[in-house]
Amino acid sequence: MGEKLTPQAVDSTQSVDPSPAQLETLRHVADHIPTAAWLVVLFSSMERFTYFAFSGPLQNYIQNPLDDVSRPGALGLGQSKATALICFLNVLSYTTVIPAAIVADGYLGPFVTICIFSCFYLSGLLLLFLTSLPISLQHNAGVGGLIAAFILIGIGVGGIKSSVSPFLADQLKRTQTRIKYLPNGESVVIDREMTISKLYGIYYWGVNIGGLSGIASTELEKIHGFWAAFLLPLCSLAVSLVAFFMSRHRYVHHKPQAGILMRVIKILRLAIWPGKFSLSNATASHQQGQLGRTVDWDDGFVSEFRVALLACRVWIIYPIVWLCFSQNQTNLVSQAAAMQTYGIPNDMMSNLNPISVLLVLPLMQKFIYPVLKRCKVDPRPTVRMTLGFICIAASMALAAGVQQIVYDSGPCYDSPRHCMIDGKLEEGPNHVSVALQVPIYVVGAVGETFFSVAGSEWAYNSAPAGMKSLLQAIYMLTLAVSSLLGVAISPIFKDPWMTIVFAVFAGVMFMLSGIFAFCFWRVSSKTEGR
């Protein structure tokens, strides 16, 4: 329990730096979340509403032909090309985060960067909507319009993703760990890391509410067509961008640190040559004392940059993790198409992921994390990452099992939806219920709740001032690498190989989870006082 003070001594607005003894003995609590942060969460939720509303129907839109009798379709490019094109969109979305982060940190600031790149996003959605109209598809404008739209959308998504997460945390005006005296006389520790964890938990809960938009867009796809499904995200992003811009005076805006990228490049050059890959060679004291050179940074900047570089090590296996997780929007959609869906659009099944996250996340905060603490396991980011990776491995193992059940079921067995029976072409799904996919999405959502939230926290906590967007961009870059891997292996994403694909994903993830736990289980981010 916390310390008690006499009522006369209590000032609920007072706060002081905690001593080591107080950090050990007092109750730790999160600070309150300001209104500006809630507004950023709302914009993020609407942006994810937009993203999942247009991406939900994409696999069907690209894979299936316009005259498919059993599933909605438009372009008819097949499963492999559909998966490859969606991976291309992801590659573009998460490589543009780097130049966007440089713009945000060094020149325009995150708010202006988000607004500008949202306009690219909006233009891409408009093009996607126009080229998905029946008259456009009849004139073969679908494929060209899709690729051009993907380029614009990818640029827009990258600009937003590089900046919105650090911009959210920047809305916390007081982030230092401190002592606060409550009106009831108790003194508690306002814990910076707990506050950021709480904020990102709210943020992630909000974006998964937005992720439910796939339910609406896939239903629109089924009833009215793809043009209606793509009109929904176009309207939602337009409204949210106007609301975000109109709230600009409420936000905390940090001044960009111009030239930070050039300093980083110079430090890396000096560290590599002639420093033989040692950052000590790039310190101001070494350059001045040993070489008589003057540089435009101090030793503290090099020290913080070293911390940031070391922090990036935990993301080494994230490309593989994201590759497995991305199956929700690609090959698991195709798997559902080969199963009995009882009138439910096959691409609606992916919405089980955000629904599960919404249910799981509060349980994590209220029950799972406290239980871990009682078991003497600190739920720091690296611990949650490890648990998340194990869950993703388990979800891929379940996917492999379900895929084998599909292949073992008639009428088409390992050629679902396309086989000859008694001289007649059979285009219906195999006789197996799509309900078997539910555990895949639930277990995957538990894993996502662990590793994805922890990844964003780690990026913000590990970044020095002026590099918040850049480090978040490096974290997002793991998604681009994942998508490149997806494009490289996309030719194997077809029947009858999918059981082997999912099983290999599961085996690799279990192995990497063990390696990650061995290397990073006890590592914590150094966040105090930053």
Q: Calculate what percentage of the chain has a pLDDT beyond 90.
A: 36
pLDDT at 106 over 90: no
**Average predicted confidence (pLDDT) for the chain:** 86
- What is the Cα–Cα distance from 507 to 393, expressed in whole angstroms? 7
Domain boundaries, the chain: 33-179+193-254, 312-529
Position with higher pLDDT, 506 vs 65: 506
Please give the helix or strand (H or E) that residue 36 lies within, else none: helix 35-55
DSSP 421-455: ETTEEE-SPPS-BGGGGHHHHHHHHHHHHHHHHHH
Position with higher pLDDT, 184 vs 128: 128
DSSP 194-243: HHHHHHHHHHHHHHHHHTTHHHHHHHHHHHT-HHHHHHHHHHHHHHHHHH
pLDDT at 200 over 70: yes
228 with 221: CB under 8 angstroms? yes
Name residue 29's amino acid: V
- What is the Cα–Cα distance from 359 to 170, expressed in whole angstroms? 27
Token pair 């905060």 in the structure block, residue: 365
pLDDT at residue number 237: 96
Mean pLDDT of all residues in 62-71: 82
pLDDT at 260 over 80: no
Please give the helix or strand (H or E) that residue 15 lies within, else none: strand 15-16
Model confidence band, residue 126 (pLDDT cutoffs 50, 70, 90)? very high
**Joined tokens for residue 447:** 């894993």
Global pTM value: 0.75
Selected from 1.20.1250.20, 3.40.190.10, 1.10.3720.10, 3.90.1150.10, the CATH number assigned to the domain covering 33-179+193-254 reads: 1.20.1250.20
In terms of average pLDDT, the best of 103-117, 276-290, 500-514 is: 500-514
- In the three-class reduction of DSSP (H, G, I as helix; E, B as strand; rest coil), residue 180 is classed as strand
- What is the Cα–Cα distance from 176 to 190, expressed in whole angstroms? 8
What is the b/e burial string over 370-391, where b = at least 16 CB atoms within 10 angstroms of the residue's CB? eebeeeeeebbbbbbbbbbbbb
33-179+193-254 and 312-529 in the same fold: yes
Q: What are phi and psi of 110, to 5 degrees?
A: -65, -35
398 with 505: CB under 8 angstroms? no
Position with higher pLDDT, 36 vs 25: 36
Mean pLDDT of all residues in 383-394: 96
- What is the DSSP-derived secondary structure letter of residue 33? P
Of 519, 524, 500, 508, residue with least CA distance to 390:
508
Q: Classify domain 312-529 by CATH architecture.
A: Up-down Bundle (1.20)
Mean pLDDT of all residues in 12-35: 74
